[in-house]
Amino acid sequence: GDSVTQMEGPVTLSEEAFLTINCTYTATGYPSLFWYVQYPGEGLQLLLKATKADDKGSNKGFEATYRKETTSFHLEKGSVQVSDSAVYFCALQTLPSGAGSYQLTFGKGTKLSVIP
Amino acid sequence: GAGVSQSPSNKVTEKGKDVELRCDPISGHTALYWYRQSLGQGLEFLIYFQGNSAPDKSGLPSDRFSAERTGGSVSTLTIQRTQQEDSAVYLCASSPRLAGDPNNEQFFGPGTRLTVL
């Protein structure tokens, strides 16, 4: 079945440091890939997405590139801020057969803490 | 406009009791999902509704779990005879499910935190 593996946390960085959160996946077919973010006390929000190989998703200074050859979708940001402190989830979505669901398969999440 | 709303935000119950969790999706969204977020298992898919089609129940962990969606809008997730391992945050999401579009975004509610004592 489909699965997502992302690096274990927690990750603690100083403000303005470079961030990488690794994510690899296993899926049948050609999934769409997502990063979701969950800020403290809030619900899940879509951060960025990519729908085909070599696509780059970007938002709020975060980027991730869909690498089919390495089945990866690593999240990066060049300079993190305290406000980026949150839990980040990598997820995939594959096309269902027939009228099935577009359910998301999530990684276990990586907690990021950014200190001033 | 209004996002996905869920109620209650927190629920504490005793083992063996039944609970009902409610989800109000974004108006006009035809697809509705329930997920469970727990410490040990991460985020897991539970059930999916799309319009008037039969729901995809493949993620429900046991027959104590059931869900319904009335009138294609509000959904209720029911857990019967709750167990301590049911303690988790239950998330609801909706999406427009545009026909043939694999990229429709799922919009999540804030979740209901269930604690079974």
State how far the Cα of A69 lies from the Cα of B72, in Å rounded to an integer.
41
> Which SS3 state, helix, strand or coil, does residue A75 take?
strand
Give the model's pLDDT for residue A54.
Answer: 94
CA B52, CA A32: separation in Å to the nearest integer? 26
Tell me the chain A residues in contact with residue B50 when contact means C-beta distances shorter than 8 Å: 99, 101
For residue A103, list chain B residues with Cβ-Cβ distance below 8 A: 33, 45, 48, 56, 59
How confident is the model at residue B34, as a pLDDT?
A: 96
Q: How far is it, in rounded angstroms, from Cα A66 to Cα A50?
A: 6
Mean pLDDT, residues A4-29: 93
Dihedral class, residue B28 (left if φ above 0, else alpha if ψ from -120 to 50, else beta): left
Q: How far is A5 from chain B (nearest CA, A)?
A: 11
Instruction: Kindly report the backbone phi and psi dihedral angles of residue A102, in degrees, each rounded to the nearest multiple of 5, phi listed first.
Output: -95, 50
Which residues on chain A are in Cβ contact (under 8 Å) with B44? 106
Q: What percent of chain A has pLDDT over 70?
A: 94
User: Span B30-51, mean pLDDT?
Assistant: 89
pLDDT at B105 over 90: no
- For residue B90, the chain A residue with the least C-alpha distance is A43
Q: Using CA coordinates, name the residue in chain B closest to A3.
A: B44
- Of A27-31, A65-69, B61-65, give the lowest mean pLDDT range: A27-31
pLDDT of A98 strictly over 70: no
Residue among B20, B28, B24, B39 at smallest CA distance from B108: B24
Q: Report pLDDT for B100.
A: 57
Residue of A nearest to B3 (CA): A43
Mean pLDDT of chain B: 90
Sign (positive or negative) of CA dihedral B62, B64, B69, B73 = negative
What's the pLDDT tens digit per position in B65-90? 999 998 879 999 999 999 999 999 99
Among B34, B36, B108, the strongest candidate for a mutation testing the A interface, having the largest count of A CBs within 10 A, is B108
With cut-offs at 50, 70 and 90, classify the pLDDT of residue B1.
low
Report the pLDDT value the prediction gives residue A100, as an integer from 0 to 100: 61
What's the rounded mean pLDDT across residues A24-45? 90
Q: Of all residues in chain B, what percent carry a pLDDT higher than 90?
A: 68
Instruction: With cut-offs at 50, 70 and 90, classify the pLDDT of residue B40.
Output: confident
**Residue of B106, B107, B112, B113 to mutate, testing the A interface (most A Cβ within 10 Å of its Cβ):** B106
Question: Would you place residue B102 in the very low, low, confident or very high pLDDT band (cuts 50, 70, 90)?
Answer: low
Distance from the Cα of B35 to chain A's closest Cα (Å) equals 9
